[in-house]
Each structure stands twice: as structure tokens, then as C-alpha cells.
Amino acid sequence: MASDIAERRAQACEKFMTRVHKITAKEGITPSALHAIKKRLVALAEKTDLFPLGDFEMPVAQGRNHPLLVEEGDGHGLYLTIGLPGKEAAPHDHGVWCVNAAVSGQERHTMYRRASDDQVTQVGEVMVAPGNGMAMADHDIHATAVVGSEPAIGLALYGYALTRFPSVVWFHPEFSSVRATASRRLTA
């Protein structure tokens, strides 16, 4: 039974990624393309039978990412994410586009705009919960917080696999500071 679910999950992820590539081949990475991808990721996340929690190890602390489909080279990365109640991330810019959808639980995404080199201003909020997702362009800024008493289980698609992320920029408004993680991109 478990291998049947894993096989159906893999097929669904491959079908989803094929659709993503059709969308981006036609439009590139535009707001309408990201919206179309988000709608398809929300539909995939609604197939909760493909993502039984028993198939995925729970995090020891705060959160964990499980690769579902990671493409070679500069391809995309699709992950199942688990965030424990109370998990938070400060405002940050991934440097790459991403789309999120919820399988279960709730994660609040607070959206920001860069106000200066070291300051951000809140411009909105999206609650990623079952039936709802969010999409971000490559330099959009967001903070996240798992809300409620249940873990937030979700799907996340990134323009690059996590192991090939560019530098992530973290904003700490309370300290008027910014820090950047090292890029994981290969240099030629």
C-alpha cells in the first residue's frame, strides 16, 4: 500500500512539473504564470491521500523539507514542507521565485517591500491554508509563521532546488540590519 501511494505521488509530481514547464515555456516567469502554477500546486496539495504524514519524518526542531522532485542542473525543486506550531522566519528574499500550497495546517506569509538598504515595510499578508496558496517573484520579501496548534504541511516549488539556492537575504528591522547567506549556486 505505501509503495502504491509513493508511486502515485511520484507520478502526480511529475505530471505537475510537466505542466509547470509548459506554462513557463509559453510565458516565462510572469505574475500570470506564477498564478497559474499556484493554482496547479493548490490542486496537487488537495490530493491529501498522496501525502500521508507517516511517509515523512517529522522535524526534530521547527521545520523540515522533504524532496519530492528535484530536477538536475538548474532545474526546479518541489518539496513537502513541515513546520511545527510557532515556527517563524524573519523577513527574507529567496532570490528565486517560489510557490506554496497547504496540505494541512496554516502558515501566515507576511509580505514586505524594501524601503531602504536595511529596512522593509509590510505591504500585505497571505494565509496559506488548505485550498489557498501564494506565489512570489524572485526578489519578493516575506516572513512566515505557522499559526494554530497543528503542524503546517505544505508543498513548495522553487525556481531552483534548495541545494542550488542563490544567496538568501534576511532583514532584521528591529536591529536595522541585513544579512545574507552564502549562495549555493555553482560558479563557473
Q: How confident is the model over 137-169, as pLDDT tens digits?
A: 998 999 999 999 999 999 999 999 988 887 788
Q: Which domain holds residue 35?
A: 2-180
Residue 188 lies in a domain: no
For cell 497571505, the residue is 126
Whether 177 has a pLDDT exceeding 60, the answer reads yes
Type and span of the H or E element at 9 = helix 2-27
Backbone angles phi, psi at 5, to 5 degrees: -65, -45
Is 187 part of any domain?
no
Per-residue pLDDT, 58: 86
Rounded to the nearest integer, the mean pLDDT of the chain is 91
* Inter-CA distances, 159 with 2, 9, 164, 173, Å: 29, 20, 10, 27
Written as one letter, the residue type at 89 is A
Q: How would DSSP label each residue in 32-92?
A: HHHHHHHHHHHHHHT-GGG--GGGSPPPSSSEEEEEEEE-STT--EEEEEEE-TT-EEEEE
* Domain membership flag for residue 29: yes
- What pLDDT is stored for residue 186 in this prediction? 60
Question: Is 124 inside a domain boundary?
Answer: yes
Give how many domains the chain has, as a whole number: 1
The per-residue pLDDT for 176 is 66
Cell numbers linked to 152: 503546517
122 found inside a domain: yes
pLDDT digits (tens, 9 = 90+) for 15-68: 999 999 999 999 999 999 999 999 999 999 999 999 999 999 988 778 899 999
* CB 148 within 8 Å of CB 105: yes
Q: Quick one: pLDDT at residue 175?
A: 60
Give the Cβ contact number of residue 117 at 10 Å. 8
Which pLDDT band holds residue 1 (cuts at 50, 70, 90)?
low
CATH number at residue 30: 2.60.120.10
Q: Would residue 144 count as lying in a domain? A: yes
> What are 112's three cell numbers?
514586505
Q: For the residues 80-104, what does the mean pLDDT come to?
A: 94
pLDDT of residue 84 exceeding 70, the answer is yes
Q: What per-residue confidence (pLDDT) applies to 147?
A: 96
Close Cβ partners of 158 (under 8 Å, ≥ 6 residues apart): 76, 77, 79, 94, 96, 97, 98, 165
